[in-house]
């Protein structure tokens, strides 16, 4: 993902965020997407529905025993953690099915399988 894209996405996220720390689920850039993901991304670019389920989710406890659950119909997806309320960047990372991941800020994330609608 280019720095420019990350910056603009960060801007969008911050406009839709409330005052508490949040995280969001986000697709990778078009260059890196493949297969179904790419088709969905192209649909998104074309202005169709919201195939990526793009939204900002409020982080919960985020502990190792009670991680933030990220719904996804794929085996893996990109998530972005807005580590601090006033963070100027989003911390992007891959999240894989069955592999909870800890962000640098200490919050845990876990992929929850969700069948496509």
* Interface contacts to Zn ion, rule CB under 5 A: 81, 83, 91, 103, 105
Please identify, using beta-carbon distances, which residue of 21 and 41 lies nearer to Zn ion.
Answer: 21
Structural contact between residues 97 and 77, judged by C-beta atoms closer than 8 angstroms:
no
Residue 84 beta carbon to Zn ion: minimum distance, rounded to whole angstroms: 8
Residue 91 beta carbon to Zn ion: minimum distance, rounded to whole angstroms: 5
Residue 74 beta carbon to Zn ion: minimum distance, rounded to whole angstroms: 21
Please identify, using beta-carbon distances, which residue of 9 and 41 lies nearer to Zn ion.
Answer: 9
Structural contact between residues 82 and 13, judged by C-beta atoms closer than 8 angstroms:
yes
Please identify, using beta-carbon distances, which residue of 23 and 41 lies nearer to Zn ion.
Answer: 23
108, containing H or E segment: strand 108-113
Q: Which residues are 112's β-sheet partners?
A: 71
CA 102 to chain centre: 14
């Amino acid at each position: 993902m280019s720095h420019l894209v990350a910056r603009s996405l960060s801007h969008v996220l911050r406009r839709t965020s409330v005052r508490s720390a949040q995280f969001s689920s986000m697709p990778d850039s078009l260059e890196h997407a493949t297969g179904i993901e790419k088709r969905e991304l192209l649909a998104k670019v074309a202005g169709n529905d919201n195939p990526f389920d793009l939204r900002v989710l409020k982080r919960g406890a985020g502990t190792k025993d009670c991680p933030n659950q990220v719904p996804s119909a794929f085996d893996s997806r990109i998530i972005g953690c807005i580590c601090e309320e006033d963070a100027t960047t989003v911390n992007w990372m891959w999240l894989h099915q069955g592999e909870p991941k800890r962000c640098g800020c200490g919050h845990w994330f876990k992929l929850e399988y969700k069948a496509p609608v």
